[in-house]
Amino acid sequence: MQNGKQTRLRKGTKIKKMKKVEKLKNWEELVNDGEQYGDPTSKLTKDQKAIFENIKDQKILKLQDAYVFVKRDEVTREHGIHLATLLSDFEPLSSVHTIIITHNNLGPEGIKIIAGSSTLPKVDYLHLGSNNLGDEGVEALSSCDLFSEVKTLNLEQNGITERGAKALATSSALTKLTSLNLVDNKIGDRGALAIANSDTLSNLTYLHLGGNRIKSEETKKVLRESKKLTQLKTLKAF
Structural domain boundaries, residue 134: 61-237
Condensed to tens digits (0 to 9), the pLDDT of residues 104-148 reads 999 999 999 999 999 999 999 999 999 999 999 999 999 999 999
> What pTM did the predictor assign?
0.83
Number of folded domains that form the chain: 1
- Say if 72 falls within a structural domain: yes
- Say if 204 falls within a structural domain: yes
Report the DSSP beta bridge partners of residue 2: 5
Helix ranges, the chain (H): 27-32, 34-37, 46-52, 77-88, 107-115, 134-142, 162-169, 188-196, 217-224
Closest CA to 48 of 34, 64, 61: 61
Condensed to tens digits (0 to 9), the pLDDT of residues 8-65 reads 545 555 544 444 444 444 445 545 554 444 566 778 999 999 999 999 999 999 999 8
Closest CA to 58 of 88, 23, 80, 29: 29
Q: What single letter denotes the amino acid at residue 77?
A: R
- Say if 18 falls within a structural domain: no
- Say if 52 falls within a structural domain: no
Closest CA to 198 of 218, 233, 171, 237: 171
H-helix or E-strand spanning residue 49: helix 46-52
- Say if 46 falls within a structural domain: no
129: number of Cβ within 10 Å: 19
Q: What's residue 12's pLDDT?
A: 56
- Say if 125 falls within a structural domain: yes
Dihedral of the CA atoms 204, 210, 213, 217 (nearest 10)?
70
CA distance to 74, 91, 139, 191, per residue, from 186 (Å) = 26, 36, 15, 8
Strand, coil or helix: 209 = strand
- Say if 36 falls within a structural domain: no
Task: Return the CA Rg of the chain.
Answer: 26
- Say if 220 falls within a structural domain: yes
Q: What's residue 233's pLDDT?
A: 98
Confidence of residue 67 (pLDDT cuts 50, 70, 90): confident
The domain that holds 179 is classified in CATH as 3.80.10.10
Strand, coil or helix: 100 = strand
Higher pLDDT, 7 or 109: 109
